[in-house]
Amino acid sequence: MNQNKTLKDNITSIILGVLSIAWIYPVFMILFNSLKKETAISTGTAFQLPTSETLAGLANYVNALTSKGFLTAFWYSLVITLTSVVLILICCSMCAWFITRVNTWYSKALYYLFVFSMVVPFQMLMFTLSATADRLKLSSPYTICIIYLGFGAGLAVFMFCGFMKSIPIEIEEAAMIDGCSPLRTFFMVVLPILKPTLISVGILETMWLWNDYLLPYLVLDRTKGYMTIPILIQYFRGSFGKVEMGPMMASIMMNIIPIIIVYLLCQKHIIKGVAAGAVKG
Amino acid sequence: MKKTVARLLSLTVCAGMLTACGGGNSSAPASSGAADSGASASGASGAVYYLNFKPEADDAWQALAKAYTEETGVPVTVVTAASNTYEQQLMSEMAKSTPPTLFQVNGPVGLSNWKDYCYDLTGTDVMGELASESFALKDGDQILAIPYVNESYGIITNKTLLAKAGYAVEDIDSFDDLKKVAEDITTRKNELGFAAFSSAGMDGSSNWRYQTHLANMPIYFEYQDKGVGVSETIEGKYLDNYKAIFDLYINNSTCEPAALAGKTGDDSRNEFLAGEAVFYQNGSWEYSNLVGEGKPFTDDDLAMIPIYIGVGDEANQGLCDGTENYWCVNGAAKEEDIQATLDFMYWCVTSETGTKAMADDMGFVIPFKGAQESPNLFVRQDAAYSAAGKTPISWAFLTIPSQTWKDELASVLTAYAAGTGSWDDVKTQFVDGWASEYAALNG
Amino acid sequence: MEKALKKYWPFFVLPTFAAFVIGFIWPFLQGLYLSFCKFITIDRATFNGLKNYIFALTEPDFLHAFWFTALFTVVSTICINLAALAIALALTREIKGTNIFRSVFFMPNLIGGIVLGYIWQILFNCVLTLLGKPLLSLHAPYGFVGLVILMCWQQIGYMMIIYIAGLQSIPGDYLEAARIDGATERQILWKVKLPNLMPSITICTFLSLTNGFKLFDQNLALTGGDPAHKTEMLALNIYQTFYGRAGAQWKGYGQAKAVLFCILVLVISFCQLRATRSKEVQQ
């Protein structure tokens, strides 16, 4: 019986092993193709490893970095993601605390509005949202976080509310009775308790923001050359007058690598965050 | 107060642009414009924002805009849309708070979409410079769009290679001749080391050569038969000829027809430049990419011949002549911006720098009084054809109902070339698609 | 406490609410209004009645996009959830390398839709070329299969995590008791694990349903709707109507389609909500 079980486990291990190699193969394929010379990249040879003849070294990376605006796009992506996540975490957690602790018709109405906004597809607002952002001069990478705060508030508030309900109200009340103002209570008492939730929401929002394409594509002012990495990668297709696969794949890799590093560093938090977020969601 | 804010804003905007431009030479793929440092200091009131249609002339426009800013202090931003995305970009840019002040329409059909936004050019300086008022597009009494370039297209031929294959340009003056030469080159492809046609790439950067320019031929001849200049229905009488010429292109090409789906405009040009193909369908705007410093060709190597499809009086057929580049000034822009734009247009077509740039760098023949002689071989050839009494083919494709019609035609053509679709799909799209797109245009 | 907090609303609620008005409420209402208009720019919109909706509901491309999306959503939801559940069950058997496998399967989730689309486009086109078959953009069935595979690759890891969390939250006593009663592994799966997993299953089904319906980036990058709009899903169809067409009438059509799309997604979400509610009552 026991032997039988270990045999079964070994077979499962092997199957899963093969499957996970297949799972990372696409990324690996992009990696070695990005090291090939432009002329050696074609649809039929994507599976071939680079040979000494076709190996271009880091030429595609250098090309993408120096002449294709990758660094600018990377910087804008970083700025947008960081400012927006920080803004969303602070503002939405405060808002959620208010909603859960103040029991009036308008806090309830607000809560349902936020939930409603979570479900509405972006296409519904894409034109009017970008027009509004343009009118209010929010179409730069440094101000777009306000748009993200507005559009992303739904999910964040919803998740914070879910967690807040399970925090015992007594600690906060005790702090208030001791003479803390609500602001002080929030930052000194509530936020520390919320830390795991902050991490979960932060991770979900980061995953969304870093990869978001359509919103920045429509909102950012392209006449000033603002673009994020997904926009740049989409731009490689045809917009330079031809399809430059080499720099494109290099850019894809340079988009993925930071994600993978961050993922490996805080894997536990990410997986916990996703599980927690989904159970509440 | 408001003014200070505006000035501060424009300063930050300029600073933003400087950083965008400074980060590596023209790295920003959105080809951001050239509002230079002098602009804000001189306190000029208006600004120009030109949404340019021609990707191949982007560099030249950026340089010209910069020159203008240096000369006058008026900031000029030039943004160029990628192939086949002009209407899309114009739509989204026009909805912004700083819309383009100068934009383009491709002809009467394009104008009908935008006429509410066009400034009436009657009596403006630039209008006075137009060689003939009849070139302009009107709506009632209002002059809404003026062409800024005349162009021609045909089959660009590498005479040197053609001679190697044992033919001369003079041997070809009908579709049958072209077919005979092309098929002969194909049978001897290995021995000669080159193919007849450069790849008819169906990528977005190249497919306009077939879904628009080549599609012009059957439309033009059908219009000729009917004696009309525009029609909301098309019978597809000459679609068999369209098929014949397209088949000729794809079956006598540098690559297999199935591979065309992914071929780009650059691929096609590079093949031609590398001497891998004798024929290359394109237009006079292509000149600066083929001849000049660092380019392999001189004027003696090249010729442009008419596109023969086996219809009409082929012996007297000329090149395809016309323009799909009309300037419109955005009437919804701020007054000072409209004035700045008009001044910029006037400067482009009258000043030494402007006319020279348009003639030499962009290779344009401009329909204005101050036009400079163009060094463009193809332009001179076009004039020679006309002088010899040949009838130019007009650009009937200007009456194509929409970009969608073109895109869908390209899609079925690609499928046909790859062998996954049939010619009947092409016919359906050509005829039925035409009718339904016109219905949508009017609806 | 509530009273004190109420006074502080400008600090707590106002920033988020103001941004919410800018980023959601105002554009939403404006979008609703514009769906009844003909417009290129908002300030020049003219009222158009129900014409936009009539057009949207009768346009063959839009209807095709609807059925394509529906089919895609159903197929991908089934594939993703079955595979994710199977992997989750395997990974909760405490075999060697569980952590590595989990990390690997989850990884594609972190990659954005556009990037995913291009990665798979390169891969599929290579396979198809080697097999001598037409490329992805030329043959709609390949495009469909490609989208399903892509979505599986991306989503299985995510759903797997949820299922693992669900499985781990089943009290050990239940399983122990079942084993003592002599239940086989199969019986434990069907009678103990799956019923207790129902909340996770509903969540995952709902997530993959809405993800499928709202899919845009992957669709744009992988096939772009080629050939001839045959692989165009609802979100992309709306986008193309809106930004891909010249002429004043199209934006109104696009906005009307977007409203219909929005209603559709809302209905699905509402059904989901009721389903979860009723499940919770049962427990």
Based on the fold, state whether residues A35 and A165 are members of the same structural domain: no
Indicate which CATH number applies to the domain containing A268. 1.10.3720.10
Calpha distance B273→A203 (Å, rounded): 51
Residues of C within 8 A of B402 (CB-CB) are 245-247
Query: Cα angle vertex C258, ends C253, C260, to 5°?
Result: 95
Q: If you search the block for the tokens 């990376």, which residue do you land on?
A: A61
Q: Does A223 touch chain B (CB under 8 A)?
A: yes
Q: Does B405 touch chain C (CB under 8 A)?
A: no
H or E element in which residue B376 lies? none
Q: Which of C6, C7, C22 to mutate to test the interface with A (most CBs of A within 10 A)?
A: C22
**E-strand stretches of chain C:** 37-38, 46-47
Please choose, from the candidates B189, B159, B301, B161, the residue with its C-alpha nearest in 3D space to the C-alpha of residue B254.
B189
Question: Å from A51 to nearest chain B CA?
Answer: 24
- The type of residue at A38 is E
CB contact under 8 A, C247 and B441: yes
Please choose, from the candidates B378, B328, B88, B322, the residue with its C-alpha nearest in 3D space to the C-alpha of residue B204.
B88
pLDDT per residue over A138-151, tens digit each?
999 999 999 999 99
- Cα distances (angstroms) measured from residue B429 to each of B202, B257, B407, C249: 16, 20, 10, 22
Among A13, A29, A56, residue at a domain's last position = A56
CB contact under 8 A, A238 and B33: no
Of residues B91, B258, B414, nearest to C243 (C-beta): B91
Residues of B within 8 A of A215 (CB-CB) are none
Calpha distance B221→B393 (Å, rounded): 9
Per the structure, how many domains does chain A have? 2
Helices A191-211, A144-164: axis angle to 10 degrees equals 140
* B132 SS3 class: coil
> In the prediction, which pLDDT does A111 show?
92
CA nearest to B433 within chain C: C228
Looking at chain A from residue 98 to 117, which residues have their Cβ under 8 Å from any Cβ of chain C?
98-99, 101-104, 110, 113-114, 117
CB contact under 8 A, C40 and B94: yes
Of residues A27, A211, A278, nearest to C207 (C-beta): A278
Q: Which of A77, A107, A125, A257 to mutate to test the interface with C (most CBs of C within 10 A)?
A: A125
CATH of domain C70-233: 1.10.3720.10
CB contact under 8 A, B92 and A238: no
Based on the fold, state whether residues A75 and A97 are members of the same structural domain: yes
- Cα distances (angstroms) measured from residue B174 to each of B170, B188, B315: 10, 22, 7
> In the prediction, which pLDDT does A234 show?
83
Q: How many Cα atoms within 13 Å fall on the side-chain side of residue C14?
A: 6
Give yes or no for a contact between C45 and C39, defined as CB atoms under 8 angstroms apart.
yes
Q: Does A243 touch chain C (CB under 8 A)?
A: no
CA nearest to C154 within chain A: A23
Question: Å from A224 to nearest chain C CA?
Answer: 20
Q: Does B389 touch chain A (CB under 8 A)?
A: no
Based on the fold, state whether residues A48 and A84 are members of the same structural domain: no
Of residues C134, C139, C243, nearest to B92 (C-beta): C243
H or E element in which residue B121 lies? none
CB contact under 8 A, A223 and B79: yes
CB contact under 8 A, C40 and B258: no
- The type of residue at A90 is I
- The type of residue at B369 is K
> In the prediction, which pLDDT does C277 show?
66
Calpha distance B193→B275 (Å, rounded): 9
Question: Å from A122 to nearest chain B CA?
Answer: 17
* Low-confidence winner among A51-55, A209-213, C235-239 (lowest mean pLDDT): A51-55
> In the prediction, which pLDDT does B18 show?
37
And the tokens for C112?
Answer: 């954005």
Looking at chain B from residue 240 to 279, which residues have their Cβ under 8 Å from any Cβ of chain C?
258, 261-262
Statement: residue A54 has pLDDT above 50: yes
CA A86 to chain CA centroid, nearest Å: 13
Question: Å from C113 to nearest chain B CA?
Answer: 21
Q: If you search the block for the tokens 């427990």, which residue do you land on?
A: C283
Question: Å from A14 to nearest chain C CA?
Answer: 10
And the tokens for A228?
Answer: 């994020």
- Note whether B2-150+323-369 and B152-322+380-442 share their fold: yes
Please choose, from the candidates C34, C92, C105, C90, the residue with its C-alpha nearest in 3D space to the C-alpha of residue C259.
C34
**What is the three-state SS of A214-259?**
HHHHHHCCHHHCCCCHHHHHHHHCCCCCCCCHHHHHHHHHHHHHHH
> In the prediction, which pLDDT does A278 show?
62
Calpha distance B234→C178 (Å, rounded): 75
CB contact under 8 A, C244 and B94: no
Based on the fold, state whether residues A69 and A141 are members of the same structural domain: yes
* B291 SS3 class: strand
Q: Running DSSP on this structure, what letter comes out for residue C109?
A: G
CB contact under 8 A, C16 and A17: no
Give yes or no for a contact between C238 and C257, defined as CB atoms under 8 angstroms apart.
yes
Subunits with 3+ Cβ pairs within 8 Å of B are A, C
Looking at chain A from residue 193 to 232, which residues have their Cβ under 8 Å from any Cβ of chain C?
207, 210-214, 230
Average pLDDT of chain C to the nearest whole number? 88
CATH fold group of domain B2-150+323-369: D-Maltodextrin-Binding Protein; domain 2 (3.40.190)
Question: Å from A80 to nearest chain B CA?
Answer: 16
Please choose, from the candidates C37, B85, B419, the residue with its C-alpha nearest in 3D space to the C-alpha of residue A239.
B85
Subunits with 3+ Cβ pairs within 8 Å of A are B, C
DSSP string, chain A: -HHHHHHHHHHHHHHHHHHHHHHHHHHHHHHHHHTB-GGG--GGGTTSPP-TTTB-TTHHHHHHHHHS-HHHHHHHHHHHHHHHHHHHHHHHHHHHHHHHH--SHHHHHHHHHHHHHHHS-GGGTHHHHHHHHHHTT--STTTHHHHHHHHHHHHHHHHHHHHHTTS-HHHHHHHHHTT--HHHHIIIIIHHHHHHHHHHHHHHHHHHHHH--HHHHHHS-GGGT---HHHHHHHHTTTTSS--HHHHHHHHHHHHHHHHHHHHHTHHHHHHHHHHHHHH-
Give yes or no for a contact between A106 and A187, defined as CB atoms under 8 angstroms apart.
no
Question: Å from A117 to nearest chain B CA?
Answer: 24
The pLDDT of A253-271, averaged and rounded, is 86
Q: If you search the block for the tokens 């910029």, which residue do you land on?
A: B344
Question: Å from C213 to nearest chain B CA?
Answer: 25
pLDDT per residue over A82-98, tens digit each?
999 999 999 999 999 99
Q: Where are the domains of chain B?
A: 2-150+323-369, 152-322+380-442
> In the prediction, which pLDDT does A239 show?
52
**C15 cis-preceded (ω within 30 degrees of 0):** no
CA nearest to A185 within chain C: C5
Of residues C41, C227, C244, nearest to B415 (C-beta): C227
Q: Running DSSP on this structure, what letter comes out for residue C37?
A: E
Of residues C135, C228, C245, nearest to B411 (C-beta): C228
Residues of C within 8 A of B90 (CB-CB) are 246
CA nearest to A234 within chain B: B29
> In the prediction, which pLDDT does C50 show?
92
Which residue range is the domain that position A48 belongs to?
2-56
Based on the fold, state whether residues A154 and A115 are members of the same structural domain: yes
User: Options 3.40.50.720, 1.10.3720.10, 3.40.50.10540, 3.40.190.10; which CATH number does B152-322+380-442 get?
Assistant: 3.40.190.10
Of residues C41, C227, C251, nearest to B411 (C-beta): C227
CB contact under 8 A, C207 and A103: no
Statement: residue A230 has pLDDT above 70: yes
- Cα distances (angstroms) measured from residue A274 to each of A261, C106, C193, C272: 18, 10, 21, 20
Give yes or no for a contact between C52 and C279, defined as CB atoms under 8 angstroms apart.
no
Based on the fold, state whether residues A136 and A218 are members of the same structural domain: yes
First to last CA, chain C: 35
Q: How many Cα atoms within 13 Å fall on the side-chain side of residue B302?
A: 32
pLDDT tens across the length of chain B (443 residues): 444 444 444 444 343 333 333 333 333 333 334 343 333 334 457 899 999 998 888 889 999 999 999 999 999 999 988 777 788 888 888 888 889 999 999 888 888 888 889 999 999 999 999 988 888 998 888 999 999 998 899 999 999 999 999 999 999 989 999 999 999 999 999 999 999 999 998 887 788 999 999 999 999 999 999 999 889 999 999 999 999 999 999 999 998 888 888 788 888 898 999 999 999 999 998 888 898 888 889 999 999 999 999 998 998 999 999 888 999 999 999 999 999 999 999 999 999 999 999 888 888 888 998 888 888 899 889 989 989 999 999 999 999 988 889 988 998 999 899 888 899 999 999 999 999 989 888 76
- By residue count, chain B amounts to 443
Predicted confidence band of residue A213 (pLDDT cuts 50, 70, 90): very high
CB contact under 8 A, B266 and A135: no
Low-confidence ranges of chain C (pLDDT < 70): 1, 276-283
Predicted confidence band of residue A79 (pLDDT cuts 50, 70, 90): very high
And the tokens for C139?
Answer: 């043959």
Calpha distance A28→C119 (Å, rounded): 10
Q: Where are the domains of chain C?
A: 70-233
Of residues A132, A249, A264, nearest to C26 (C-beta): A132
CA torsion sign, B349 to B354 to B355 to B360? negative
CB contact under 8 A, C266 and A119: yes
Based on the fold, state whether residues A107 and A243 are members of the same structural domain: yes
Question: Å from A142 to nearest chain B CA?
Answer: 12
